[in-house]
A and B are shown apart, each in its own frame.
Chain A
Amino acid sequence: MLFFSTTIDGLQMGLCFAVLALGVYISYSILDFPDLSVDGTFPLGGVFCTILMLHLSIPALPAIILSFLSGFAAGALTGMLHVKFNISKLLSGIIVMTALLSVTLALTKLLTKNGQTTSIFSFRSESIEGLFGSEFFTAFGTASKDYIVIAVLVVIVIAVKIIIDIFLKTKLGYMLKATGSNEKLVISLGKNSGNYKILGLALANGFVSVSGALYANMYMQYDNTCGSGKVVMALASVIIGVTVFSGIRFIKDTTAVIIGAVIYSLCLNYLVLVDTGGIYLKLLNAVLFAVILIFNDRISSIVASKNRLASRSAKND
């Protein structure tokens, strides 16, 4: 039973982080930009969404969609630091991430009306009707609540995936891909490649913020430390997804990234079962990541050799 509930938890987390991973897929895989500002834009989306919902009483879904804008602005800032002021990729990410730690803290302060800063800001149950609020679920009974959460998350994740897939088929999307892979070509097409970098980072962090907003909704609380480690988590998801499933032709990169995020979250949750004390959690986490990458190398070489054999025998026929 514990295993079952862990699986459900893992699925929910994985789907929520799939949106995060899709954002990082844009910056890391497409633009070739290891963007560290993610650790800041994830909580930014969460707190932005919370403010919209609590203070401006905007309904959950529009609030989540609007939180895209907060990450968009922060991502554009990272891009501008890199493009306009020639600050290295890693450092411009670090600068924005560091700045956002204060920004989110200040925004959190705005939420607590008596002016106290608390590292964990909780507003469970009474004051907020989140996207997964109570009314909706009474019809289904509490047992099915988890499944509905998963269903709603699946719909959102698929919607984000389709939006990104379509975007990448447009001329603008092509330019983004070209910028990440061969900047000189973009210049030779008469365009300023820097602008595409800024736009790409803005979009990527927009999705990251949406993921943060979803996260706050899912747990009905905003926690200012929820951003830490999100870069690593997202990169792990993207790398696991793209490298493990790249051998299979009919799976698109975006789908692979979603699967990667879910697999990684599930594994993380199962690790909690193994190490109930929680001391070796991060160590196990690291070992898991290493094992996946090592095995993936083996698997993909096997897949590649099989493909080669298949094509050779097809030629001989």
Chain B
Amino acid sequence: MIELKNIVKIFNAATVNETQLFKNFSLSVKKGEFLSVVGSNGSGKTTLLNIISGSLPINGGEVLLEGENITKLPEYVRARRIGRVFQDPSVGTVPNMTITENLSLALNKGKPYMLKFAINRRKKYQLKELVLQLGLGLEDKMDVPVGLLSGGQRQALSLIMSTLTPVDLLLLDEHTAALDPRTAETIMKLTDEIVRKKGLTVIMVTHNLRYAVEYGSRLIMMDKGNIVIDKSGEDKTNTSVEDVLRVFNEISIECGN
């Protein structure tokens, strides 16, 4: 469960370029909920994720994770309980390390990284089994540097790495946007599978309205720092892509786009 209470976010404060994105923004995502967030550029979707992950400071309000106030915690401390997959596939992995090495790093999350050997034969076997279950054909490339893999393969790996250890919340930041349509579909299916299997709480930002409608249990649309659509449960099941698109176009016309 993640709660945002009365968030205030001002960019370029005290300059001519001062813009207030969030005036009094509140959002609450229940445990086990899969929330899709859509909206035009500049609506505050990514800022929302950055505020939750702690990579952006806020000017007012509170962020609560499982009831605990995490507003003042730095990003790396929050990351112990929050997984995140970025739009750029290269951000979620270490390019000059192999698949095995990358996974061994992720598997150790939450434990100390000291002078123990990172990989032994048992762990190597365990990681290969894990990759085999995915059925992506990566099991033959365990000793290949991740930088040599395709964007889709890397994004699949980022997804697995961010959910390998238990997390209270998973943030997906347009994680299929840099992929071709077919690969994006594969990654989206994999995401859904992992989320269902582990019962994760998810916030997914996407530009793909179809994904937002098809996947997840709740959908919100944002515009200029406000929530303009909020549908969940049966209400969401009955929503079609066209419904969402209509509202989206109305907003865009208002903006003069």
In the bound complex, do residue A174 and residue B79 qualify as a contact, i.e. CB atoms below 8 Å apart? no
Among residues of A, the one whose C-beta sits closest to the C-beta of B83 is A188
Report the Cα distance A184→B97, complex, angstroms. Answer: 15
Report the Cα distance A152→B193, complex, angstroms. Answer: 59
In the bound complex, do residue B113 and residue A192 qualify as a contact, i.e. CB atoms below 8 Å apart? no
Q: Of B95, B109, B115, which is within 8 A of A190 by CB?
A: B109
Chain A residues with Cβ under 8 A from B101's Cβ? 174
Smallest CB separation, A243 vs chain B (Å): 15
B90 touches A (CB below 8 Å): yes
Report the Cα distance A268→B93, complex, angstroms. Answer: 41
In the bound complex, do residue B109 and residue A172 qualify as a contact, i.e. CB atoms below 8 Å apart? no
In the bound complex, do residue B97 and residue A170 qualify as a contact, i.e. CB atoms below 8 Å apart? no
In the bound complex, do residue A191 and residue B76 qualify as a contact, i.e. CB atoms below 8 Å apart? yes
A165-185 toward B: CB 8 Å interface, digit per residue (1/0)?
A: 001011111110110011011
In the bound complex, do residue B118 and residue A171 qualify as a contact, i.e. CB atoms below 8 Å apart? yes
In the bound complex, do residue B79 and residue A188 qualify as a contact, i.e. CB atoms below 8 Å apart? yes
In the bound complex, do residue A190 and residue B80 qualify as a contact, i.e. CB atoms below 8 Å apart? yes
Q: Of B75, B86, B104, B162, which is within 8 A of A174 by CB?
A: B104
Q: Which bracket fits the contact residues of A?
A: 20 to 34
B108-119 toward A: CB 8 Å interface, digit per residue (1/0)?
A: 111011111111
B94 touches A (CB below 8 Å): yes
In the bound complex, do residue A172 and residue B93 qualify as a contact, i.e. CB atoms below 8 Å apart? no
Q: Of B86, B92, B115, B162, which is within 8 A of A172 by CB?
A: B115
A187 touches B (CB below 8 Å): yes
Listed in ascending order, the chain B residues whose CB lies under 8 Å from chain A are 74-77, 79-80, 83-84, 86, 90-97, 101, 104-106, 108-110, 112-119, 162
24 sampled A-B residue pairs with Cβ under 8 A: A169-B118, A170-B117, A170-B118, A171-B113, A171-B115, A174-B97, A174-B101, A174-B104, A178-B94, A178-B97, A178-B105, A181-B94, A181-B97, A182-B91, A182-B95, A186-B76, A187-B75, A188-B84, A190-B76, A190-B77, A190-B109, A190-B110, A191-B113, A192-B74
Other than the given A171-B108, A172-B115, A192-B74, 14 more pairs (CB < 8 A) read A169-B118, A170-B114, A171-B113, A171-B117, A173-B118, A174-B97, A174-B105, A181-B97, A185-B91, A185-B92, A188-B79, A189-B106, A189-B109, A190-B80
